[in-house]
Each structure stands twice: as C-alpha cells, then as structure tokens.
Amino acid sequence: MIASSHRVLLALLLGAPVVGACGETTISIVDPEEPLDLTRGLLLHLPLDETEAGMIAVDASGNGHDGTPSATPPTPSLSLPPVAFANERSLSFDGAGQALDLGNPPGLDIEGPVTVAAWTRPQLLDGWRNMVAHGWHHVPNQELALRISDGVYEFLSWDGVDHAATMVMPAGDPEGWHHLCGVYDGQSYYLYRDGQLVGEHADSLAPMRVDEAWAVGARGAADAFDPRYYGGLIDEVRVYGRALSADEVLALFHL
C-alpha cells in the first residue's frame, strides 16, 4: 500500500490526476529545456552581405574581426542559402586568387575546443579548397581548416599529420547550398552537413594556436606555392571558441 503522500508525489512526477476530497485535479510538472544560446562563445560572424566587391567584410559578432578582401576581391552574389532570416548577399570566390584575410587577432588565436561553420555551394572540387582556415604555419606545423580535398569535405587540425573528420561529398552538392560545421570537443573531431553528423574522428590532438592569419576562401598565410583557393559560394561564416552540441549545430542550420 502506497502512502497518500507518496501517491501525490508519484502523481506529480507523472503528471497524473491527484484525487482528493474535492474531486480530481491534474498537476503537471514541466522541466523546460534551457533555450539554446548561439551567441555564447561566438568569436566571429561574417554575414557576407556586403553589396560591392572590395568592401570590408564586417564581423557581426561585435568582436571587430573584420575581413579584408584580396587585391582581386570576391564578388557579392544574389544566390542565397535557404535560411529563415533576412539575408541579402553571399560571396563568390573564383578559386584562383580571391579570399578574405582576417589577420590573427588575439581573440581568434584560440586552442582547444572550437566550432567552425559556413554555408557553402562549391563549384571547384579538385585539390585542396579551403572554405575557412587558420594558417597554415610550418615549423612548428600548425593549421585548422574546414575545406574540400578532392571532393571530400574535411574538418581538421594539422601538425604534420591530418587529424580530421571527413565525408565524401554527395554528387549533387555543387547544385545547391549546404551547411557545413566542424566541431572539436576535446575528445573528437566532428563534421556536420545540414545539421546532421556525417563524420567523426576520436583524437586527443586539439586544435592549437597558429602563428598565421585566418582566411575565408584560402589558406591564411602568404603562400603563393599552395594557397588552396576556394571556388564557389560562401555565406554566414561563424567561429566559436567552444564546441557546439549536436542540438546547437542543428539549430544553427535551421536559423
């Protein structure tokens, strides 16, 4: 026999009716989830809504990490990803010399858990094509990149060896926009495509500080031999100084 006080407690936990002398009352206990905060830990947000080629790419995070266009600048495009918020432009890169240079400000020279995300519509799939990168730097070997490598999506840290989560690009991806997100949480590298986990690699080697610039559309270093220029469209670039959860990555995709 369950004591009356225990029956009330059980009913409260289950949201079941509580029966008393005055009749039946239903009391529900709701444990609301905390709302996701996609501004927490946000170090960089480039909406890439600039209207003219050569304009500074303004960092909307408020951290002042603006992007300076290359001498031959990427060009604004009206091709846009399927987002729910007002989005005026994306940026088109020719794969031959166009990029944004973000420098290496202290607020972006991070190590450990990190998230790098962007909407992309790739056109050139051959070789290495960097979407967002920190470095590279040689001796010591340092690099962090979200990129394409011969038709394979990769999110990696490099110390002479690639530490990477990867996915072979689906055949139809160049025909439309897709959201890519790379996460390192202290234990593994994760790659998400359109909010879904598509690659995972357990690894204790964390992304490190890199003694070179960040870039969008290329390597973040003055390296004429192997600049790894991206060919295609990029929009809504974000960098976080923390690992987003799977739910947060999905929410970012659905913004």
pLDDT digits (tens, 9 = 90+) for 42-100: 999 999 999 999 999 999 999 999 999 999 999 999 999 999 999 999 999 999 999 99
Distance between CA 189 and CA 182 in Å, rounded? Answer: 7
pTM of the model: 0.86
Domains of the chain: 1-32 (no CATH), 42-253 (2.60.120.200)
Distance between CA 184 and CA 206 in Å, rounded? Answer: 7
Distance between CA 72 and CA 8 in Å, rounded? Answer: 72
Q: If you search the block for the tokens 């051959």, which residue do you land on?
A: 126
Secondary structure of residue 250 in the 3-state scheme: helix
Q: If you search the block for the tokens 């600049």, which residue do you land on?
A: 227
pLDDT tens digits, the chain, 255 residues: what are they? 434 433 333 333 344 444 444 444 433 333 446 789 999 999 999 999 999 999 999 999 999 999 999 999 999 999 999 999 999 999 999 999 999 999 999 999 999 999 999 999 999 999 999 999 999 888 889 999 999 999 999 999 999 999 999 999 999 999 999 999 999 999 999 999 999 999 999 999 999 999 999 999 999 976 667 899 999 999 999 999 999 999 999 999 999
